């Protein structure tokens, strides 16, 4: 209601307010506290000789307030309930059932003060209108003196002036009701339970008025007066209404893309557009006022300080405008990303940043991890509606003016520790179209009715300090508020589906071990992300981890918006590695993970390098991962420095950038200072360096092995694919596809290394415009990989689709590798001769038509995964994924609609692999 006050005349404000009260009496709990009944409110100044510290308010306003019983314990209370509205039916019935009347319910308010008593923060004056905040107020509701419900309201705002008839109008912010009846009688407990059921899903706030004469009091260091109060308790949520109309060039744009413009190729299902963003995105609507939406001045509740701060700084709510970044439908999979159950069409859009601005200056922002929209296709003219996931909100005003920073501060005073959810009740097509820049079938929609709702904090706040134990979905998401550390000898386990959100650029230090193992289900990834993507979060730091600790494992994880900060201490390389930084540490496995939008851009003693991962004398295992759109001053994705010799296997690198334009580069990877990594079965495409080595730079005594890799479409001013920048490197190139061939490698040569069986040919990706870099039919890379796998410890096939373990023939088919047990690429694991191993894997019948039985034997307790893959190394199904004891097992694979052809069954038991060919026939 205070947003309304900003735009209506003072002379009708009181009429509007009391009309609102009159219309809503039926739904609220009415209360009254009269001096004559030994109730009411007390306000006073204190000289410091009594129980309160010295405090004197400004002008005619006192510094302290409370209900009357606080000053005079013999008083009855602050107020009692006079009637109960229809919003609280269970509460009313429970009072009756337990022999109570509403008048026996007493409300008491604890001590509150003006705090710092600063104008423009704690109190505001507009002419003869006064607004004051008293902080905080504890609340207790009792029945016959027995506690029932408690709560703490962050502030109670007092308003006084002509618009209130020169009486006090008091309105608290919303607060959470808590059960206080633990030591009360069974009857009071029953009433408390009924009350909380009525409130469920909402919060409470007070609306009081102080009418009539006052009674002064003194003593005990106090000088004040008692006041009559009446009003109500209502339930609801803090919310702000917004709207984005096409006439104001607001709303959102929706389109498909053919991949020739700034967005990858994306085609939504049927008439549904794949991409959406606010109209200002990439100047789709070039109007200078284009955006997503703006606040409405006529609606809103629970944001009193925000509204008053806007007015105090000379702004109106309509000047608070929103902009929305790009979001899409993800994989666009029916049943996961969208569904159509007649007549409701449901669509999920993922991951866009929404920011609030005033005159182009940022105020606050939040990330919509998921926004679900709905349409009734039987009545399409009724438009779309939907809700977003509940998410954390961040202060975006760091670079804004002092006035906008004050407005942001008042917004968060009202928000407290809550999170944001957007609710759209109506969005309609604006009958406008656009195209161009690779965008197809574009159109505009407007936001007719919507609101932002402040919701209670979801998840677990993680305070700075030591962590270990188990993070589960029950505590999800985990909001990290400061630097945290896993101590030596301790382990932290994170379950599938958990999100870890960092509220600042903080560091996660690991001296023990972390087990972050997600799964392949739609919601099974573990996500490490930032509350504020623009600021980012720090990174994981592994520094001289004791070898007595377990291996740390990251599997099926997403690392995004990591941002290595300036190092502490200054002369250490902790400004490197946007998501992960490893120093003198080997025991880390990184499998099946996605690294995107991470960065290392803060130079210190060392130039910031490794946009995703920085290695310093460390040898982790990195396999089956995707690195895209990571940035650093050197080495956009991974830096391997100072003797680091990791295995980097079956990974895809695209869209990574090295930004320094004066020395060193490596758009995807930098190998330097006696580093000897082994790069196997990787694809490097469309990476860029502003200086040298669009995909890879090698120098300073480094001797990497490059086997079965693709280097294509990378760009740089010097040697677009691979840059060897010193003459002391010996580099082996075997069975790679390199754009430009050996001429694309330089300026120094490969030393005493070898260059053999490499090709220079377009790899023929399935659909590069859609970022599908699997090998298409007719790719020259098929059957061009290394034909002899002995001694290489290679996995049996490339999970990204770059199939390279073949018989060397010309037919392009994967041949039967036999029941070989391939060791993993983990250091210290030896390849086992299957003839001497008790581990077994077979299936029968083989070939088979509809169903086949897979039998496997393990001789020790282990975590076992049995999965089926097609010829491109794509997962078809996972049959087993659990801890098993030693023994023989059987499981049936019912292939169903799977096409005929060759499939691979892989059993992973602990760190050992067995692979078997399965042939399906019609």
Mean pLDDT by 10 residues, the chain (922 residues): 28 34 64 95 97 92 95 88 96 98 97 96 92 96 97 94 86 96 98 97 94 92 96 96 97 98 94 96 97 87 94 96 97 93 95 96 96 92 92 97 98 95 96 96 97 95 97 97 97 98 94 96 93 95 95 97 85 90 95 97 92 97 96 97 94 97 93 96 97 96 96 95 95 96 89 95 95 92 68 36 31 28 27 44 82 85 85 79 84 85 82 76 76
pLDDT of amino acid 785: 82
> Measured between alpha carbons, how far is 915 from 873 in angstroms, rounded to an integer?
12
Q: Distance between CA 918 and CA 744 in Å, rounded?
A: 41
Say what the pLDDT of residue 783 is: 78
String of DSSP letters for 862-916 = EEEEEEEE-TTS-EEEEEEEEEE-SEEEEEEEE-TTPPSEEEEEEEEETTEEEEE
Strands (E) in 220-316, as ranges, are 222-227, 229-236, 239-244, 252-257, 275-278, 293-295
CA distances from 914 to 304, 387, 846, 857, 908 (A): 65, 46, 17, 11, 7
Which structure tokens are listed for 599?
A: 């960065």
Instruction: Read off the tokens for 443.
Output: 């159109």
Dihedral of CA atoms 143, 144, 150, 154 in degrees, nearest 10, equals: 110
Burial per residue of 170-183, b for 16 or more beta-carbon CB atoms within 10 angstroms, e otherwise: bbbbbbbbeebbee
At 405 the pLDDT is: 98
Q: For residue 364, what pLDDT is reported? A: 98
Q: Residue 609: which of 552, 678, 539 has the closest Cα? A: 539
What pTM does this model have? 0.82
Q: Count Cβ neighbours within 10 Å for each residue of 609-630 and write b for 16 or more, e otherwise.
A: bbbbbbbbbbbbbbbbbbbbbb
Instruction: Give the pLDDT of residue 911.
Output: 65
The vertex-83 CA angle with 78 and 89, nearest 5°, equals 120
Q: What are phi and psi of 41, to 5 degrees?
A: -105, 155
Looking at residue 157, its pLDDT comes to 95
Using DSSP's 3-state secondary structure scheme, residue 53 falls into coil
> Which pLDDT value is given to residue 834?
36
């Amino acid at each position: 209601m205070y947003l309304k006050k900003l735009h209506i005349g003072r002379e009708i404000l009181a009429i509007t307010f009391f009309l609102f009260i009159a219309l809503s009496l039926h739904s609220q709990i009415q209360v009254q506290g009269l001096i004559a009944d030994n109730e009411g409110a007390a306000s006073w100044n204190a000289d410091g000789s009594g129980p309160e510290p010295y405090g004197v308010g400004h002008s005619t306003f006192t510094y302290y307030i409370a209900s009357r019983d606080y000053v005079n314990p013999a008083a009855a209370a602050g107020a009692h309930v006079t009637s109960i509205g229809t919003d609280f039916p269970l509460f009313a019935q429970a009072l009756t059932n337990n022999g109570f009347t509403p008048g026996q319910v007493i409300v008491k308010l604890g001590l509150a003060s003006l705090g710092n008593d600063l104008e423009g923060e704690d109190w505001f004056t507009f002419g003869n209108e006064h607004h004051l905040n008293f902080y905080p107020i504890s609340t207790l509701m009792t029945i016959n003196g027995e506690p029932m419900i408690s709560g703490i309201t962050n502030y109670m705002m007092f308003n006084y002036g002509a618009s209130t008839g020169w009486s006090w109008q008091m309105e608290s912010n919303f607060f959470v009701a808590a059960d206080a009846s633990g030591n009360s009688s069974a009857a009071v407990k029953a009433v408390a339970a009924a009350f909380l059921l009525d409130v469920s899903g909402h919060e409470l706030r007070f609306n009081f008025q102080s009418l009539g004469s006052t009674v002064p009091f003194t003593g005990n260091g106090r000088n004040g007066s008692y006041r009559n109060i009446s009003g109500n308790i209502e339930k609801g949520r803090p919310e702000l209404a917004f709207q984005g109309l096409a006439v104001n060039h607001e709303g959102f744009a929706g389109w498909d893309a053919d991949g020739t413009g700034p967005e990858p190729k994306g085609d939504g299902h049927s008439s549904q557009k794949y991409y959406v963003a606010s109209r200002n995105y990439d100047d789709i609507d070039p109007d200078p006022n284009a955006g997503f939406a703006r606040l409405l001045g006529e609606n809103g509740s629970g944001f009193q300080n925000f509204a008053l701060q806007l007015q105090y700084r000379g702004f109106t709510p309509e000047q608070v405008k929103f902009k929305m970044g790009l979001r899409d439908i993800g994989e666009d999979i029916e049943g996961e990303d969208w569904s159509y159950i007649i007549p409701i069409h449901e669509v999920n859009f993922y991951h866009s940043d929404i920011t609030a601005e005033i005159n182009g200056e940022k105020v606050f922002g939040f990330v919509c991890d998921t926004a679900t929209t709905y349409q009734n296709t039987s009545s399409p003219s009724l438009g779309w509606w939907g809700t977003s996931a509940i998410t954390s909100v961040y202060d975006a005003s760091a670079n804004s003016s002092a006035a906008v920073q004050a407005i942001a501060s008042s917004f968060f005073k009202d928000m407290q520790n809550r999170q944001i959810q957007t609710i759209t009740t109506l969005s309609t097509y604006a009958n406008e179209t656009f195209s161009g820049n690779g965008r197809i079938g574009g159109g505009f929609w407007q936001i007719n009715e919507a609101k932002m709702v402040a919701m209670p904090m979801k998840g677990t706040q993680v305070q700075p300090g030591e962590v270990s134990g188990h993070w589960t979905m029950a505590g999800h998401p985990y909001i990290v508020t400061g630097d945290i550390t896993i101590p030596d000898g301790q382990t932290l386990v994170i379950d599938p589906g958990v999100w870890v959100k960092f509220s600042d650029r903080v560091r996660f230090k690991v001296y023990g071990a972390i087990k972050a193992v997600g799964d392949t289900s739609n919601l099974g990834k573990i996500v490490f992300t930032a509350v504020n993507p623009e600021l980012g979060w720090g990174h994981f730091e592994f520094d001289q981890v004791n070898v007595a600790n377990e291996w740390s494992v990251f599997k099926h994880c997403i690392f995004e918006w990591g941002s290595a900060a300036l190092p502490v201490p200054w002369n250490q390389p902790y400004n490197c590695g946007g998501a992960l930084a490893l120093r003198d540490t080997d025991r880390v496995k990184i499998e099946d993970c996605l690294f995107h939008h991470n960065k290392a851009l803060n130079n210190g003693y060392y130039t910031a390098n490794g946009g995703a991962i920085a290695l310093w004398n460390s040898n982790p295992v990195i396999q089956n991962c995707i690195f895209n759109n990571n940035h650093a001053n050197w080495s956009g994705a991974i830096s391997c420095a100072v003797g680091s010799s990791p295995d980097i296997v079956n990974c895809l690198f695209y869209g990574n950038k090295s930004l320094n334009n004066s020395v060193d580069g490596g758009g995807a990877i930098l190998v330097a200072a006696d580093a000897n990594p082994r790069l196997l079965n990787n694809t490097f495409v469309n990476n860029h360096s502003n200086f040298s080595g669009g995909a890879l730079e090698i120098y300073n005594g480094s001797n990497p092995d490059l086997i079965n890799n693709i280097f294509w479409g990378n760009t740089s001013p010097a040697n677009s694919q691979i840059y060897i920048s010193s003459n002391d490197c010996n580099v082996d190139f075997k069975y790679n596809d390199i754009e430009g061939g050996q001429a694309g490698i330089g300026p120094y040569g490969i030393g005493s290394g070898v260059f053999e069986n490499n090709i220079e040919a377009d790899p023929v990706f399935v659909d590069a415009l859609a970022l599908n870099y699997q090998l298409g039919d007719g790719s020259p890379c098929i059957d061009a990989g290394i034909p002899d796998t002995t001694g290489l410890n290679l996995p049996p096939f490339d999970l990204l689709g770059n199939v390279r373990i073949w018989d060397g023939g010309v037919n392009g088919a994967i041949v039967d590798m036999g029941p070989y047990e391939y060791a993993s690429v983990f250091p210290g694991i030896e390849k086992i001769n299957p003839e001497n191993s008790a581990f077994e894997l077979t299936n029968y019948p083989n070939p088979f038509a509809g169903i086949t039985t897979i039998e496997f034997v393990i001789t020790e307790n282990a975590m076992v995964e049995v999965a089926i893959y097609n010829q491109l190394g794509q997962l078809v199904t996972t049959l087993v994924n659990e801890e098993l004891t030693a023994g023989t097992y059987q499981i049936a694979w019912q292939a169903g609609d799977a096409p005929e052809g060759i499939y691979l069954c892989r059993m992973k038991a602990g760190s050992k692999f067995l692979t078997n060919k399965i042939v399906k026939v019609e």
